Amino acid sequence: MIYNCPNCMAALIYNPQYGKLHCLSCNSTFETNAFEEKEKNEETIANRETDELKKAGIIDELMECNIYTCTACNAELAVNGVETSTFCAYCGQPTIVFNRVSSTKKPKYIIPFSITKEQAVSSIRNHLSKGSFVPPEIQNFSVERVRGIYIPYWLYDIRYFDEQYLSGEVKSGKSTITKYYYRSATTTFYDVTMDASKQLNDESSQRLEPFDTVAVQDFEPSYLTGFYADCFDMSETEMESYARARCMQMFNQQIEKSVHASNIKLLKNAPKLEVLKTEYAMFPAWFLTFRYQDVPYTILVNGQTGKVVGAVPFTKAKVSMLFWAIGALASMICTGLAFFFLQAGTEVDSDILEIVLYGIVGGFVMWGNGVNKLKKVKKSIELSKSTKMNSFVKDRQEG
């Protein structure tokens, strides 16, 4: 379905800047609910056609073909298995696959795009320009494609109860003793967000969070026009176990924060979870792809908050130089202190020696943290250049 401007009949798109449907031809704007009657008529027709296909016994065959007709130019579109809004590859008009929306579970909520394409590209450029180790070719990237895509999410309200017995180590003078703790608590997690798309990497979607779910709107198909949108291909039942595990992890993290000890261990617990509510929603994200050394990289931007997600290749020579400099400095300090103590020829005060040892250990900890951070960056780079991510963005009708 295409929303046409009543003034000039050009196709309307949802404009995040205005929060309304916008005609690029005559610059008119319309409220998102201005075409409710058109939506109802389209849905009625789609349902009638679906019923007729069911009676004829051929609906499964036709649905497998994923062929839909553009209501602007009557061209037939081949749409991937989860797209609910796209662009016609022939006339370029934004279109909503309304019979797809009406024949699957309709989203209850949506967070409309509030970040424009231009703002998303600008945010990514600003983000990369601050990276001291980012190559100039990447900082001045050329955009290969930008997609605004609504991602399907399940929202869970989950009540969680647990009583836990834990152990932890605490300092007692110069010794370390083991103490035991008991914790009992009940909490309710509201709007736990779980990405319901198989095609999108879960780690990438989680890094887009948080979304402000207080700002959700009742679903209106008009929000989809001008953007791509996928319907879920992971059911609420399939995702429920992941939601439960996520709540358990968040609960345990808060419990650990209440225990002032180190090397904390969970000895025994009895968790109880109850799913209170599950809702289907669509959340916005921008996907920008550029090439570096002929490899595509995709950076994500939260379409509501503007948060930039993704890492890019760094200049290895600069990073190596930094690590060597830190290592050389630590070595010089240790050598200097050792020489000082040998020259002194007297017994060193234990407090001074303890400070020195803490300093040396602290240096190694900083080194280790740097190595761990580098590993995380490398993992994030792999996500940015993964073929799965590239396919998720690329395999769509061109607008």
Give the DSSP per-residue string, 115-129: S-HHHHHHHHHHHHH
Cβ within 8 Å of residue 155, ≥6 positions away: 109, 191, 192, 193, 194, 213, 277, 278, 279, 280, 281
pLDDT, one tens digit per residue, over 2-37 is 788 889 888 888 999 888 999 988 999 998 888 776
Residue 61, pLDDT score? 41
**Tokens read off for 9:** 């009949």
**Tokens read off for 10:** 């050009």
pLDDT, one tens digit per residue, over 207-262 is 899 999 999 999 988 898 888 888 888 889 999 999 999 999 999 999 999 999 99
Residue 192 near residue 247 (C-beta atoms within 8 A): yes
% of the chain at pLDDT higher than 90: 36
Rounded to whole angstroms, the Cα distance separating 13 from 225 reads 5
State the average pLDDT over residues 348-358: 56
Residue 2 near residue 225 (C-beta atoms within 8 A): yes
Q: How confident is the model at residue 133 (pLDDT cuts 50, 70, 90)?
A: low
Is 0.85 surpassed by the pTM of this model? no
Rounded to whole angstroms, the Cα distance separating 191 from 158 reads 8
Q: Is residue 65 exposed (0-12), middle (13-18) or buried (19+ Cβ within 10 Å)?
A: exposed
Cβ within 8 Å of residue 213, ≥6 positions away: 111, 155, 190, 191, 193, 281
- Which of 194, 226, 392 shows the shortest CA–CA distance to 298? 392
Tokens 């009540």 map to which residue?
159
- Which of 128, 120, 141, 121 shows the shortest CA–CA distance to 291? 141
Residue 98, pLDDT score? 59
Residue 252 backbone phi and psi in degrees, to 5: -65, -35
Q: List C-alpha distances in Å: 262 to 166, 177, 268, 319.
A: 11, 10, 18, 32
State the average pLDDT over residues 321-330: 57
- In this structure, the strands spanning 228-230 and 143-172 are parallel
Cβ within 8 Å of residue 364, ≥6 positions away: 330
Q: Is residue 84 exposed (0-12), middle (13-18) or buried (19+ Cβ within 10 Å)?
A: buried
% of the chain at pLDDT higher than 70: 64
Residue 155 near residue 279 (C-beta atoms within 8 A): yes
Residue 399 in this model has a pLDDT that exceeds 70: no
Q: Residue 157: beta bridge partners?
A: 277
Residue 76 in this model has a pLDDT that exceeds 60: no
Lowest mean pLDDT among 51-55, 79-83, 206-210: 51-55
Which 3 state secondary structure label does DSSP give 177? Answer: strand
Residues in the chain: 399
Q: Residue 78: beta bridge partners?
A: 67
State the average pLDDT over residues 367-374: 57
Residue 60 in this model has a pLDDT that exceeds 50: no
Extended beta strands in 206-261, E state:
217-218, 228-230
State the average pLDDT over residues 41-62: 53
Residue 141 in this model has a pLDDT that exceeds 70: yes
Q: How many C-beta neighbours within 10 Å does residue 302 have? A: 24
Buried b (16+ CB within 10 A) or exposed e, 15-42: bbeebbbbbeeeebebebebbeebbeeb
Cβ within 8 Å of residue 322, ≥6 positions away: none
